[in-house]
Amino acid sequence: MACRISVISRHISSPPLEHLDDLGVRVAPEVRSALSSGVGVVALESTIVSHGMPYPQNFHTAQEVESIVRANGAVPATIAILDGVPCIGLSLAELERLAKLGTMVSKTARRDIPYVIARRGNGATTVSATMFFASKAGIKVFVTGGIGGVHRQGESTMDVSSDLTELGKTPVAVVCAGVKSILDIPRTLEYLETQGVTVVSYSTDEFPAFFTPNSGCKAPCRADSVEECADIIEANTKLGLGSGILIGVPIPAEHAAAAKNVESAIQSALHEAEGIAGNSVTPFLLKRVNELTGGDSLAANIQLVKNNALVGAKIATALTTRLSRFTKSS
């Protein structure tokens, strides 16, 4: 029994932060203190700041999201690469700098990390890169807007987001509003199953579709409280499965863009996107859909991120209590 508990304890305890110092990763003092003292921490990506909306709206939204995390008992850790240094947690000045630079900052997925660091560049982390750094620091909950996935016509283009493979190999719970509705949601869910990712819908049987609560796809699992979500993450962590968890939180109905209008805009944007490839596709589509919906999709995007931050912070707090209790008992 002692041997079994010892193995489990290695899986649930946070790694010492000194190893990040050795790797040249900077952890903000507030985040370092929270991780050392057992306070819940929520990772936040930075692509949504630099590429998701214009300045100063992006800066104000980022501030509001961080404030929501704090108001619900956790510490925010926005992740980015600044002047070649991976940063877990940003100061207000750094956050504003990132927001002002906007699309001049490199959109950075896992594959891009070495290049951005080697060139001492600035990188806004996507879901995959944010998960990577969060896991290195022992942060178990990450809040974003929506994840990438299998693109429509992906069976021909092979355009599949690295977010999905990262979820298959990195033990971080991603709280989001589902898969971006510009993507092929059924195929994305199939791909997540292949990767061994636990997919949970929060308080609904249907997997959410980013701008709208409904995708027409039944979720594999359902959790009706933040405590249930924490239980699922705890079980995954104790067993050392090594894979991530995707928690889909539907956008509140009062903020949801009209599904019919969004789908019409997506079809038009997809037609216009012919010839655009790689990591430029999603930013183009989101921007064009926002234009075609008269700003409704961006307004919905902001509201869903705030709602995800609320839920994610509560999950992180509930999870920290559980893991702390288990560590003491072992």
Residue 29 φ/ψ, nearest 5 degrees: -55, -45
Count CB neighbours of 212 within 10 A.
23
Options 140, 180, 306, 314, the catalytic residue: 180
Alpha-carbon 269 to chain mean position: 24
The four Cα atoms 56, 144, 90, 41 give a dihedral, to 10 degrees, of 140
Options 45, 66, 96, 234, the catalytic residue: 45
Instruction: Reply yes or no on whether 306 is catalytic.
Output: no
* Residues noted as catalytic: 45, 180
